[in-house]
């Protein structure tokens, strides 16, 4: 017998008062039957690896229908089993005789597959037992520990400080995506004109790691976490079921068309639960808002050429998030060294190199999604260097600084763009 097994003979009063004749009859019981009782335990998937036996106590995860196989002479003949301690139920799933087990390479010993149930919501490990009635009427008892499910650590939207596998670049565009509240809240601000953006976007997935506390048991289920509270434009999946003490990766997929169609802010509290012990849960927050401005840049300004000898013209291409209004769109722009440039066309692209603020103004025509601002570079004092290129900066803002002066205070966001160029000594 093994340390996890207790024999309970004398199950009734009459057996305690065996007569001499009964004792003599008992002496004739075959040795195998006299040694009947639990010997070891395996999982149902592998009969050669003993998960409990001499010196090894059995541990079983809390919850319903935890199944394992109990081995020992005459165990397969037990007419009944009974529970003790933290077990709330048990059933016999299958019986295998010694001959059956020998034919499947498991040894010439009987076994019984059993399923046990306990309260999944326990918060601490608890002792339990399962007793098998032997041919003589006594019970062979298998002791075990019922293991509580671990609590979940607070997940974050980031992994090692960054969104994974990407920052949803094609969905966010010139909008913004940030994490706050120790990375437990994801805040997305869509770019202007998102509802009119029909471009293909495949960078629409974020992964989140769910990490339970450390635990292990000999018999435990694998499962996928249940996730609720998702907005209509997000779905969740978990590729691989995991054991209770093993971290899981959840994949959140954003429906691009659904996100772009938002007209009001959406805030969701997403709840992640252990599906067996639903008290083990945690939450994340997701906030997605449409742009607060009607127009913006859909991409950074693009120079052509990005490097050129002074005296040549340079085109700066601007792309809008939505078609410009019928009356056109005023752009406020400047070169950081205004004196290094002059107008390339005084009618189409007026330029005043002597203005104290350096701000210039250009009106893109109505109904367009892109435009070009051209400027002519000059080799004035400080504009170039014989030894190395000199960096010049182009900046642009949506709107008219003469009407709304504070628009030029912005140095980020969808209504601002900038790009560097290099001027070479001619």
Q: How confident is the model at residue 198 (pLDDT cuts 50, 70, 90)?
A: confident
User: Would you state the pLDDT for residue 32?
Assistant: 42
User: Would you state the pLDDT for residue 161?
Assistant: 92
Please check the confidence at residue 24 and state whether its pLDDT lies above 50. no
pLDDT digits (tens, 9 = 90+) for 101-151: 999 999 999 999 999 999 999 999 999 999 999 998 999 999 999 999 999
Q: How confident is the model at residue 35 (pLDDT cuts 50, 70, 90)?
A: low
**CATH topology for 302-424?**
Immunoglobulin-like (2.60.40)
Count CB neighbours of 92 within 10 A: 15
- Say if pTM beats, i.e. exceeds, 0.85: no
Please check the confidence at residue 354 and state whether its pLDDT lies above 60. yes
Share of the chain above pLDDT 90, in %: 83
Please check the confidence at residue 323 and state whether its pLDDT lies above 70. yes
Please check the confidence at residue 210 and state whether its pLDDT lies above 80. yes
Please check the confidence at residue 4 and state whether its pLDDT lies above 80. no
Q: Rounded distance, CA 226 to CA 216, Å?
A: 21
The dihedrals phi and psi of 110, each to the nearest 5 degrees, come to -75, 160
Q: Rounded distance, CA 16 to CA 161, Å?
A: 70
Q: Rounded distance, CA 220 to CA 243, Å?
A: 7
pLDDT digits (tens, 9 = 90+) for 393-402: 999 999 999 9
Q: How confident is the model at residue 342 (pLDDT cuts 50, 70, 90)?
A: very high
Q: How confident is the model at residue 224 (pLDDT cuts 50, 70, 90)?
A: very high
User: Would you state the pLDDT for residue 8?
Assistant: 43
Please check the confidence at residue 63 and state whether its pLDDT lies above 60. yes
Count CB neighbours of 213 within 10 A: 13
Superfamily of domain 5-147: Immunoglobulins (2.60.40.10)
pLDDT digits (tens, 9 = 90+) for 242-258: 999 999 999 999 999 99
Q: How confident is the model at residue 11 (pLDDT cuts 50, 70, 90)?
A: very low
One fold for 5-147 and 302-424: yes
What is residue 99's three-state secondary structure? helix
User: Would you state the pLDDT for residue 359?
Assistant: 96
Task: Quote the tokens at residue 100.
Answer: 């059956």
Domain ranges for the chain: 5-147, 158-289, 302-424
The CATH architecture to which 158-289 belongs is: Sandwich (2.60)
Distances (CA, A) of 104 to 33, 48, 54, 66, 101: 23, 11, 23, 23, 5
User: Would you state the pLDDT for residue 113?
Assistant: 98
Please check the confidence at residue 16 and state whether its pLDDT lies above 60. no
C-alpha count within 13 angstroms, C-beta hemisphere, residue 236: 21
What is the Cα gyration radius of the chain? 37
pLDDT digits (tens, 9 = 90+) for 264-279: 999 999 999 999 999 9
DSSP state of 399: S
């Amino acid at each position: 017998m093994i340390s996890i097994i207790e024999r309970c003979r004398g199950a009734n009063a009459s057996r305690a008062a065996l007569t001499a004749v009964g004792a003599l009859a008992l002496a004739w019981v075959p040795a195998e039957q006299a040694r009947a009782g639990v010997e070891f335990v395996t999982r149902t998937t592998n009969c050669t690896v003993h998960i409990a036996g001499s010196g090894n106590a059995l541990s079983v995860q809390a919850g319903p229908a935890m199944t394992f196989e109990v081995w020992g002479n005459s165990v397969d003949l037990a007419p009944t089993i009974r529970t003790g301690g933290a077990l709330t139920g048990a059933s016999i799933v299958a019986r295998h005789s010694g001959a059956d087990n020998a034919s499947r390479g498991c040894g010439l010993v009987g076994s019984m597959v059993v399923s046990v149930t306990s309260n999944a919501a326990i918060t601490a490990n608890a002792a339990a037992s399962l007793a098998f009635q032997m041919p003589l009427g006594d019970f062979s008892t298998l002791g075990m520990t019922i293991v509580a499910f671990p609590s979940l650590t607070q997940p974050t939207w980031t992994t090692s400080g960054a969104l994974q596998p990407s920052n949803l670049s094609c969905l966010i565009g010139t909008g913004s995506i940030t994490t706050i509240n120790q990375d437990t809240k994801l805040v997305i601000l869509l770019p202007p004109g998102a509802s009119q953006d029909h471009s293909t976007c495949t960078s629409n997935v974020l992964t989140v790691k769910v990490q339970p506390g450390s635990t292990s048991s000999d018999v435990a289920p694998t499962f996928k976490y249940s996730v609720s509270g998702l907005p209509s434009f997000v779905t969740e999946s978990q590729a691989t079921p995991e054991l209770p003490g093993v971290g899981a990766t959840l994949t959140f997929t954003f429906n691009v068309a659904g996100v772009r169609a938002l007209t009001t802010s959406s805030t969701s509290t997403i709840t992640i639960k252990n599906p067996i012990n639903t008290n083990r849960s945690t939450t994340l927050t997701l906030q997605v808002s449409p742009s607060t401005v009607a127009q913006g840049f859909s991409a950074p300004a693009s120079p052509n050429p990005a490097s050129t000898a002074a005296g040549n013209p340079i085109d700066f291409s601007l792309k809008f998030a939505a078609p410009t209004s019928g009356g056109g769109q005023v752009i406020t722009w400047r070169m950081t060294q205004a004196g290094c440039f002059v107008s390339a066309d005084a009618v189409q692209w007026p330029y005043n190199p002597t203005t104290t603020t350096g701000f210039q103004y250009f009106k893109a025509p109505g109904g367009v999604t892109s435009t070009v601002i051209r400027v002519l570079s000059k080799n004035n004092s400080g504009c170039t260097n014989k030894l190395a290129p000199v960096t010049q900066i182009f900046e642009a803002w949506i709107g008219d600084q003469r009407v709304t002066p504070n628009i030029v205070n912005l140095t980020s966001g969808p209504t601002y763009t900038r790009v560097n160029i290099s001027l070479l000594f001619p």
